[in-house]
Structure 1
Amino acid sequence: MAEGRSTGGLVAAAVVGALLVFGAWFLFARGDSDGGSASGGSGEGCVSLNVTASSEKAGLLGDLAEEYNSGGPSVGDQCVTVSVSSKASGGAAQALARDWDDQLDGPRPDVWSPASSSWAVLVEQWRAEDDKANLIPADYESVAQTPLVIAMPRPMAEAVGWPDKQIGWKELADLAGSPKGWAAYDHPEWGRFKLGKTNPNFSTSGLNATIASYFAATGVSSDLTIKQVKSPQTKKFVKKLESSVVHYGDTTLTFLETMAREAQEGKGLTYVSAVTVEEKSVIDYNRGNPSGDPATLGQQPEPSIPLAAVYPSDGTLLSDNPFVILDADWVSDTKKQAAAGFLGWLRESDQQQQFTEAGFRTFEGEPGAVLTEENGVLPQGPQSVLSPPAPPVLASILKSWDELRKRARVLFVMDVSGSMGQAVPSAGGSKLSLAQDAAINTMDGFAANDLVGLWVFSTGLGPDGEPYRELVPISEAAQTVPKMKEEVAQLVADGGTALYYTLGEAQSDMVKDLDTGKINAIVLLSDGKNEYPQDTDLNGLLDQLQGESVDTSVRVFTIGYGTEADTSALKAIAEASRGHHYDAEDPSSIEEVLTSVLSNF
C-alpha cells in the first residue's frame, strides 16, 4: 500500500453526510467508555507529546511509548516524553472536528493515529464545512497495516474450501440467498447463512465491507461509477447479502465476544456464519483475547472453535493506521520534531516486529511470524486489494446501502420508576429528562419503513394493574416516531421497577408477530434493580430468552443507566438473548450510548 493521503483517505470525504445524520461521537477505550490512558507520565521540563490512537492498537502503542521514553529521546537539548490515549477513530474524529475539549474528550492530541486515513479526511472535510482551520497535514505515513477479511468459524470456512480456496462476496451472497442454507454444503445442521457486519456509518470494517460488496456486485476492481451503484443488478446483489445480517453495530467486538460465549456453550456454529473484521481481530480472537488489548491477553482460554480468515477472491480493502501529526496551533515545531522522531522509531524493524507479533502487518504490508494458517490467517494475504471509489461514488454507495440494508423491528422498553426522577446536577436535569432528550434526538435514525414501538414500565401502569403500558404499538417508523416523541416528552417518573415481568411480556409479544426478514430486537433501558415481588425469577426469564432458536430469537440490547442499575442482571439478559449490554453509568452519556445502540439497526 502506498503511504499518505493515497492510502484510502478519500473514503471518508464521501461519508460525511451519512455520519452527520447520526450526529454523535463514540469513545471506546480500554475498559472506559470515556477514553483512557494507555501510557502516561511526563518528565518535568520535557517536551510532552500526546498521541491519541484507535482502540485496537492503543495498548500496543502505549507500551511502545513507555519503551521509547526509557531511552531518553530528545529534541535539541530538550528531553521528550510520549503519552498515548485511546479513543475509537470515529469518536476522536468528531472531537477534532468540533474543536477538542480537554474536559470532555481527554488529553488533546498532538498526534492522531486512527484505524484508517478515511477518518483524517473526514475531519478535514467537517472543519472545512464549518469554516474552521484545517488540522490535517497534506501527507502522513502508516505505522502498520491490516486487511479486511471474512472471519468464519473454521469448520464453516473449511466447508467452503479454506485454506486452498478463497471464496468471494458473490459466493457469500449466493449462500445468503439460498433457501438451502448450509445444506448446500452438506451441513443442514448449521441452518441458514448468517452474517455479522458493522454499520458502515460508524465502523471502518463495516464501511470497507460495504464498499467491497458493491465492487463485487458490478464485477469491476476499480473506477466504480454511480451508474453501476444504482443498477438494478447491483441492488439485487447487495440486498441479498444484507438480508443475511443478524444485526449491525458500531464495533466488531460485539460479534466476537458473543461468538466466544456461544462457542463455550456449545453453540459456536449457530450464532453467525461469518463476520467482517480486520485480519488482526482473527489473531486476537484465536488467542482468547477478542478485544486485542495486550493487558487482557492470557486472561481467557483460547476458543473451542477458532476463526479462519477468508480473503475475498473478488477484492478487499486495507486499514493503514496513519500517524497524523496535527497542523494545529498547539502543536509547536518542537513537538512536530518530537513526533517525527517517535514515528521514525516506530517504523524501525524492532518496533515493527512488535506490531507483527500483535497481529498487524508492517507498514509495508509484510506479515510477521504469527500470521500463519495454524493461527487462522494466510501470510500471503489478499489476492486483490481494492482502491476506494471516488467520493461522489462512495456517497452514492452509502445512500444505496441505507435503502437496501436489512430493516428492523424494534420495541423500546423504558424504565419510568421513581428513581428515574433523580437529579443529575452536572447535566442540569434529571435522569428521566436526559433520557427523554436522548430518545427524542435519536429516533429519527430509523428508516421510514423500519417497525418501531414504545412501552414504559414501573408498577401499576396498565389498565388491570400491569406494571407496564404500551404507549405506541409497533408499526412503521414514519407513523410511530412522531407519536413516540410526543409520548416520551410527557413521561413522569414514579413507582417501582418491574424489570423481569415487563421484559418477559415484551419478549412474548415480540415473538408472536416475529418477522424473520427483519432484525427483531428490544431496547431496554433501566436504572435500577427488579422491585416487583410478583416476579423475581431471573433464571426463568433467562431460560425464556435462551429458548428461542437463533433464527427466531428477539435480541435484547440493554442499557444500564446510572450507578444503581443492576448491571449483572442486564448483562445476563443481553447475553441470553444474543444481544449486547451498554453502559450509561454516567447519565450525561445517554445520548451517545443510545446512538451506539441504534447503530445495530
Structure 2
Amino acid sequence: MARHPSPDPYATDAARARRRGRRRTVAIATALVVGVATGAGVAARSGLLSFAGSCEDDAVRVDVLAAPDIAPALDEAADRAREQDVKSDGRCLDVRVEAKEPHQVAGALQKSDEARFDVWVPDSELWVDRASLGDSTALTPAGNVAASPVTMGMVPSAAKAVGWPKKRYTWAELTELATEGDKLRLGAADPARSAGGLLALTKIGASAAKTDGPESDTQVAATAKLLAQRTSDSESRALATVARDDSGTEQGDPRRNQALIVSEQAAFRHNQEAGADGQLELFYPKDGAPQLDYPYTLVDESHMSTDESRAALRFMTLLGEEDSRSLLEKHGFRSGSEEPSEELVTAAGGSEPQPYATASAEPPTPKELQATLGMWTITVQSARLTTVVDVSTSMGRIVPNRGESRLEVTKSSLVQALSQFTPEDEIGVWEFATYLDGTRDYRKLVETRRLGASTGNGATQRERLVAAYDALHTKPGYTGLYDTSLAAYKDAQKSYVKGKFNALVILTDGANQDPGSLSRRALIDELERLADPKRPVRLIAIAVGPDADRKEVKQIAAATGGSGYQIDDPAQMQEVILKAIIAAGGN
C-alpha cells in the first residue's frame, strides 16, 4: 500500500524527512534478505569486513518501535552496534529505538496504511494479528528476539501461606484461591491492553474447562469480575499496587494486591528495584505458562529500500548473537532455545521445584483470544444490546450443507450467543420485513431488559428471549432495512443506559428492498446527525449470505461509529458479534 502524507504521532522530524527523500520502493523477499544479512554477520565476525573508521556519513538508519519492557535492551544493543561499527553490506547500522505501548501501536496501524517506522517489536504476536485486521499497514514477521513466561507472583507471606515453592498449582487452582472470599487479593494488567493479562485469562479459561467442564464459564467469569476491580492500565502500574511484605499496614490495605499476574521479566525488573521488603515470588503453573514472544516485525517492507531492509534484518541477526543474548538476559529476558539460567529465574522470584524450565503452554488460537477478550469486555462493562432480526421471505432459503434455513441457523446462533452474557447484561429483540405491523416494517417483540430480571410469570428475561428467538418465523415480505435501522436506532438512543456498552445489532440477508423507504444517503445523514459521542450507541450490522450487501452495512454502521460485517454462514454470527464488541470497545 502506498504511503500518503499524514500526521503521525510516532514520527520524528528526521524520520519524516528521511521518508520523503526515498525514491526506491523495491519489494524484497524476506528469505533472501535474511540470507544476505546473516552472511554479512558471518563475514563481520570472521574479519572479512572492516569495522574501523567513522560511519557517520554513510550509516543506514533503522527506526524501531518497541514495547516499553524490551525497549531499553534493544536501545543498549543499538548503542553497541554504533560503538562497534557493526555493518550491513559495508554500511554501518544507525538503529534508533523508541518505546510505545503495543496496544496503542496496534490501534494506530489498524486505522492507517501508513507508518513512519521500519521495525516493530511488540511483546506478543497477538498485537501483530490485531494490527493486521482491516485495511492496515502491511506487516512481515521476521522472527522472535526474546521470550518471557507469564506467571503469578505473590508477596512472600502470601506465597508461603499457599505452599510456595514446593506446592504446584494449575492456573485454575491458583485463581480459585483468589476468588474464595478475600483470602488473596489478585491484580493484573488490563487484558484489553496487556498481552500478558489476555494470555493468562485465556489460559485460566482453558485450565478451568479441563477441571470443571461445563461449569468452567462460571469460574472464568468470576475471575474476570474480580480482576476487573483490580486491573491497571499496564503491567508497570499493576506492579506499583503490590504490597510490601514487611508492612502490616500495607498487607492489610484492601487497595494493595498480594498477588499479580505478571511476566517473569517484569518480576525480574520489579525485584531489582523493590529492595528486600518488596520482592515477588513466582508460581509457574504446572499446566504451562503462556509466553510473551517479542516478534521482530518489518513494517511496510515493500516501501523500504534494499539497504534499509537488509539493515533492519542485520539488526535482528545481531540480537541473536551471543553478546546480545547475554544483554537480553541481563534485562530479564529469555533468549534462544536453551533452558533459562538459574540466576535469571532466582532474581525474578522463581525457585525449584516450581516448573520454570518445563515446556510452555500451547499458544492460544486467535479465535480463543478473541472469545476471551469479548468475554472480558462484556464482563467489565455490561452490555445493553437490541437485536433486530430479518424475517423476510428470503431468510427461509436453505443454508448450503446445513439443511436448515438462514433464519433457523440465525436463531440457534442467537441462543448460543446469549451464553456469553451475564445476568447484568440487557438484551431485547425486534423483527423486521416489510409492512410487518400495518405500514411499519418492524415489530418490537421483547423490551430490552436485564437478562437476570424476572418477567413477572416466573421466567427470567433470558428465558423469555430464548422463547422469542425460537418463535421467530419468516413472513411474506421483503427487506425493509432502512426504516427499521432508523427506528431501532432512535429507540436505542432514547433508552440509553450510562455505564453500559450500548449497541444495536441488525441481522439481515439482503439489501434494502422497500421502495417506499428513505434513501441510503438520507439514512446515513440522519444517523450521523443523531450519533452523540456523549451517549454512544454503536450500530453493528451483519449481512448474512451471498445476497447481502457488505458495502451497504459497513456504510450504515460507520455512521454511528459501529461496524459492518458480511458472513456466509449464520453460524458465524456469535463470533462476529464478539468481534464487533471488541472493536467498539477499542474505540
TM tier relative to shorter chain = 0.5 to 0.7
In structure 1, the residue matched to 2:259 is 274
Task: Tell me which residue corresponds to 2:96.
Answer: 83
- Which residue, out of 233, 248, 264, partners 2:231? 248
1:26/1:90 contact within 8 Å kept: no
Deviation of 1:369 after TM superposition, in Å, equals 5.2
Letter in 2 for 1:87: K
Counterparts of 1:223-372 in structure 2, within 5 Å, are: 232-245=214-227, 246-259=229-242, 266-268=249-251, 270=253, 271-288=256-273, 302-364=275-337, 366-368=339-341, 370-372=343-345
AA of the residue aligned to 1:267: E
Task: Give the aligned partner of residue 167 of structure 1.
Answer: 169
Counterpart mapping for 1:90-105 below 5 A? 90-99=103-112
* 1:286-308 deviations in Å (ceiling 9; x for gaps): 111xxxxxxxxxxxx51513101
Cα-to-partner distance string for 1:487-509 (whole Å, 9 max, x where unaligned): 9969xxxxxxxxxxxxxxxxxxx
* RMSD between aligned residues: 3.9
Q: 1:153, 1:269 within 8 Å by CA — same for their partners in 2?
A: no
Q: CA deviation at 1:392?
A: 3.0
Q: Measure, in 2, the Cα distance between the counterparts of 1:75 and 1:238.
A: 50
Determine if the alignment matches structure 1 residue 216 to structure 2 residue 207: yes
Q: Distance in 2 between matches of 1:260 and 1:160?
A: 17
Compute the displacement of 1:247 (Å). 2.2
Please say if 1:136 is aligned against 2:139. Answer: yes
CA 99–177 in structure 1, closer or farther in 2 if over 3 Å, else same? closer
Q: Which runs of 5+ in 1 are unaligned?
A: 1-24, 28-40, 103-107, 180-190, 221-227, 289-300, 409-445, 452-476, 491-594
Q: Is the 8 A contact 2:264 2:348 kept in 1?
A: no
Alignment of 1:501-540 (within 5 A): none
Residues 487 and 310 (structure 1), Cα distance of their counterparts in 2 relative to 1, 3 Å cut: same
Q: What SS does structure 2 have at the residue aligned with 1:388?
A: coil
Q: Matched residue of 1:197: which SS? A: strand
Task: Select the structure with the greater relative contact order (CA < 8 A; seq sep ≥ 6).
Answer: 1
The yes-or-no answer on 1:479 pairing with 2:464 is: no
Structure whose alpha-carbon radius of gyration is higher: 2
Letter in 2 for 1:234: S
Q: Which amino acid aligns with 2:78?
A: A
Q: 1:77 to 1:386 in 2, by over 3 A?
A: closer
2:155 aligns with one of 142, 153, 156: 153
Q: For residue 88 of structure 1, report the CA deviation from its aligned partner.
A: 1.1
Match of 2:367 in 1: 392
**Equivalent-residue separation in structure 1 for 2:298 and 2:423 (angstroms):** 42
* Shift in CA distance, 369/397, structure 1 to aligned 2, threshold 3 Å: closer
**Does the Cα contact within 8 Å between 2:269 and 2:332 map onto a contact in 1?**
yes
Q: Which residue of 1 aligns with 2:185?
A: 194
Question: Residue 287 of structure 1: SS of its match in structure 2?
Answer: helix
Indicate the residue corresponding to 1:402 in structure 2: 377
State the AA in 2 paired with 1:314. D
What's the CA shift for 1:101? Answer: 6.7
Equivalent residue letter for 1:237: Q
State the shift of 1:395 in Å: 2.6
Deviation per residue, 1:100-135 (Å, 9 max, x gap)? 777xxxxx22111110111112222x2xx22x5x52
Q: Separation in 2 of the partners of 1:405 and 1:482?
A: 9
Which residue of 116, 122, 129 corresponds with 2:124? 116
- Cα shift at 1:482: 9.6
Contact 1:216 1:315 in 2 (8 A): no
1:67 to 80, 87, 94: 80
CA distance in 1, matches of 2:269, 2:118: 29
Distance, in Å, in 1 between the alignment partners of 2:127 and 2:98 is 17
Structure 1 pair 489/386, CA: closer, same or farther in 2 (3 Å)? closer
SS of the aligned residue for 1:55 comes to coil
In the TM superposition, what is the alpha-carbon distance from 1:96 to its structure 2 partner? Answer: 2.5
Shift of 1:93: 1.7
Distance 1:177 1:115, change over 3 A: closer
Take 1:487 and 1:201, find their aligned partners in 2: how far apart are those partners?
A: 24
Q: Secondary structure at the match of 2:277?
A: coil
Classify the secondary structure of the residue corresponding to 1:480. coil
Q: Assess if the C-alpha contact under 8 Å between 2:185 and 2:259 holds in 1.
A: yes
Distance 2:313 2:83 in 1: 17
Paired amino acid for 1:204: A
Q: Against the structure 1 CA distance between its residues 337 and 359, is the aligned structure 2 distance closer, same or farther, given a 3 Å change threshold?
A: same
Deviation of the 1:281 alpha carbon = 1.0
Aligned residues: 351
When normalised by structure 2's length, the TM-score is 0.53
**Where do residues 411-490 of structure 1 align in structure 2 (5 Å cutoff)?**
449=424, 479-480=497-498
TM-score (norm 1): 0.52
1:256 to 1:177, Cα distance in 2 relative to 1, 3 A: closer
